[in-house]
Structure 1
Amino acid sequence: MKSYTINEINTLLNGELIGNTTQNITGPEHLEKARTNEITFIGNKKYVHLWENSNACAAIVSDNLTIEPLKNRAIIKVKNADLAMAKVLDLFKPTLPQFDVDLHPTAVIHETAKIGAGCKIGANCYVGKDVEIGDGVILYPNVAIFDATIIGDRTVVWSGTVIRERTEVGTDCIFHSNVSIGADGFGYRPESKGLVKIPHIGNVKIGNNVEIGANSSVDRAKFSSTILGDGCKIDNLVQIAHNCILGRSCIMAGSSGLAGSVTLGDGVVIGGASSIKDHITIGDGAVVGGGSGVMSDVPAGKTVVGYPATEARDMFRQWVALKKLGKG
């Protein structure tokens, strides 16, 4: 079992240690659930009152909060408790599932595929014609990579994921279980005999350091490319439709969705269960509140909420007015 002294953890965080504990710390935990050999964190003043009755031997605390150490219980003051806790979690993270052999004998790898150095390919994987896989890539069991796809160095692909033909993936990406990349876009047109399927002959291009959560889908373009920029973080159960373009470091929370040809600038945040109409542009740094429905373009830096989504201050005024009407 991993364990660290309070001084070792403080050195990692470069914080201000106040008080002391003789306990060896074996892991992080919530304030209410922590045991005497665990460390917790407090990043918001509404949780400060829980410190006194917590069993945690130490707490990582944002430096704008007023909180004191207790007997054999220390605090580490840092600028941002959440970011500091991320470093502590990294200390205690378990090892990834291990491979007995680098290339499992049940994996099917086309003779034209190029596999980089140090790759690991699990049981029942499929790697198609002319696929190029960079160095240190991990494909967990039951992953399918179809023809002419390129995957960059150190990318990790978890079980059940399907990456369709001609997809381009950057370095250091993570695709969690059952991700679908490069499936046909959703496009039909009516005619006298029914619905005509619109072919989608483009591809998907994914930048570096992109993470896509379980059961999310990124559809290929009708023509040209669906694009996810460097550093984008996509939650579980997210839909990104054909020809969408995401800038750098966008965040999409769970169950949100982009219809076709949506453009997100850099650093856009899409809240959970939000939906964005087709051909909408959302500017750099804009925020869409959870559960919102965006029907028109959003300027850079704006926050919109509601259905249909409206600038946050205006929507809040509407909600207050409606509440007053209900009491009238």
Structure 2
Amino acid sequence: MVTLGDLAAHLGCEPGLADASIELDGIAPLGRAGPRELAFVSEARYLDALKSCRAGCVLLKSEWQADCPVPSLCVPDPYLAYARLSSLFDLLPASVPGIHPGAFVDASVKLPASASVGHGACVEADVVLGEDVVIGPGVHVGRGAQLGARCRIWPGVVLYHGVILGDDCVVHANSVIGADGFGFARRVDGWEKISQLGSVSIGDRVDIGAGVTIDRGALDDTLIADDVIIDDQVHIAHNCVIGRRTAIAGCVGMAGSTEVGEDCTFAGQVGVSGHLKICDNAHFTGQARVIGAIDEPGSYSSGTPLAPTKQWRRNAVRFGQLDALQRRVVKLEAKLEALGGAASDDE
């Protein structure tokens, strides 16, 4: 339970005419929120719903306050304010410092008293753990890995040897950080594996979703900079470099040695070819296929839009005819130019 005064203090704003002692137990959507719940309005299209709202408090912009029948807090960005307050209502169970009897922690590990290691976890030799680190059940932390302060590693995560995480990182369940990159040299009779001699280095405040795979580098490290956010089921191949504050949505795949700038966004299922550079502030819509370097900031899209199957089949056939059609157009243009030139000579 928190009070409206607590919320205002957390946001650094004033409760205005509202009663600062109002108690709130949670956050709910605007149309469902009751007298002990917080709601928010982030867009003008929801103002009609605001008029019948029953929430205990609403986060909104000052120009919308006149339409609000319940107590409110005025903020410049209601959605950002909601994000900042959400942690006050989080039901995440508190971690218990110490090592669970069912866990294994090597004697060489530097383990702060504030750290928590869950049942079935394995922490190998020479690992360094920061203050308030939480290692969930069944996590494997490989030899020589380093985890900064307040990192939380959810159940089933595997951190290979030598992996480095900065402060305040989150790695969700069943992600694998530091597996071998896909490095092989062709032999006459098959493939020769290339030992992956680099590691993975992750900055501060990086949030990694469930089922993510980030491969270790072949020679240099794979690098994930500060404040990057990565959704579920993403694959980042060896030696990729991801710039600060970049956001990567679910099912994105990045081939090896891709270099991504700062403040980029990748929507779901974007595919990125390897050995290319992407500048700062480049944004890719869903299922875009990035096959070349991106030098200019902006939004990029590709792919075939959804269509009825019969229409799609006809278009697919025509797509296969484009090369022949283009050649015919070039020949026709050449003939027209020749005819035009001949007409000019006759004048």
Q: Does residue 86 of the first structure (1) align with residue 83 of the second (2)?
A: yes
Tell me how far 1:233 sits from its aligned partner.
Answer: 1.2
Residues 126 and 11 of structure 1: CA distance in aligned 2, closer, same or farther (over 3 Å): closer
| Letter of the structure 1 residue corresponding to residue 216 of structure 2 | R
Shift of 1:124: 1.1
Secondary structure, aligned partner of 2:177: strand
Distance 1:119 1:267, change over 3 A: same
Which consecutive residues of structure 1, in runs of 5 or more, have no partner in the other structure?
A: 309-321, 323-328
**Are the counterparts in 2 of residues 68 and 75 from structure 1 also a CA contact under 8 Å?**
no
Match of 1:209 among 205, 209, 215: 205
Which stretch of structure 1 is more off in the superposition, 274-283 or 46-55?
46-55
Alignment-derived partner of residue 12 in structure 1: 10
Superposed CA deviations along residues 184-232 of structure 1, whole A, max 9, x for unmatched, are: 1123344332344333221111111111111111100111110011111
Q: Distance in 1 between matches of 2:244 and 2:271?
A: 20
Task: Summarize deviations over 1:255-280 as a string: whole Å, max 9, x none.
Answer: 11211111011222111221111112
Partners of 2:299 and 2:262 in 1: how far apart?
Answer: 14
> For 1:170-319, what aligned pairs fall within 5 Å after superposition?
170-307=166-303
State the distance in 2 between where 1:193 and 1:65 align: 71
1:112-131 maps to which residues of 2 (within 5 A)? Answer: 112-131=108-127
Answer 1 or 2: which has greater helix percent.
Answer: 2
Instruction: Give the number of the structure whose alpha-carbon radius of gyration is greater.
Output: 2
Paired with 2:155 and 2:15, the residues of 1 have a C-alpha distance of: 42
1:69 equivalent in structure 2:
68
Q: Which residues of 2 match residues 157-176 of structure 1 at below 5 A?
A: 157-176=153-172
Say if 1:23 and 1:36, in contact at 8 Å, map to a contact too.
no
TM, length-normalised to structure 1: 0.85
The offset of 1:61, in angstroms, is: 1.0
Assess if the C-alpha contact under 8 Å between 2:51 and 2:68 holds in 1: no
- Displacement, 1:183? 0.3
Report the CA distance shift for 1:250/1:275 in structure 2 as closer, same or farther (over 3 A): same
Find the residue that maps to 1:115 and give its secondary structure.
Answer: coil
Partner residue in 1 for 2:59: 60
SS in 1 for 2:7: helix
Kept in 1: contact 2:65–2:74 (CA 8 A): no
Alignment-mate amino acid for residue 92 of structure 1:
F
Whether the aligned pair in 2 keeps the contact of 1:235 and 1:252 (CA below 8 Å) is yes
Question: Quick one: distance in 2 between partners of 1:285 and 1:239?
Answer: 21
Partner Cα separation in structure 2 for residue 300 and residue 283 of structure 1: 7
CA distance in structure 2 between the partners assigned to 1:138 and 1:26 by the alignment: 26
Q: 1:179 to 1:196 in 2, by over 3 A?
A: same
Kindly indicate whether the alpha-carbon contact (under 8 Å) linking 1:48 and 1:67 is maintained by their aligned counterparts in 2.
Answer: no
Cα deviation, residue 55, structure 1: 2.8
Distance 2:143 2:129 in 1: 12
Name the aligned partner's letter for residue 246 of structure 1. I
C-alpha separation in 2, matches of 1:148 and 1:188 = 26
Q: Which amino acid aligns with 1:229?
A: A
**How many angstroms does 1:88 deviate by?**
2.3
The runs of 5 or more residues in structure 2 that have no matched partner are 305-314, 316-347
Q: Distance in 2 between matches of 1:24 and 1:32?
A: 19
**CA–CA distance in structure 2, aligned partners of residues 268 and 136 of structure 1:** 31
Q: Is the 8 A contact 1:16 1:78 kept in 2?
A: no
Q: Which amino acid aligns with 2:42?
A: G
User: CA 1:111 to 1:91, structure 2 compared with 1: closer, same or farther past 3 Å?
Assistant: closer
Distance verdict in 2 for CA 1:272–1:111, change over 3 Å? same
Classify the secondary structure of the residue corresponding to 2:74.
strand
1:224 and 1:243 in contact (8 A); partners too: yes
Contact 2:31-2:49 within 8 A present in 1 as well: yes
Q: Does 1:29 align with 2:25?
A: no
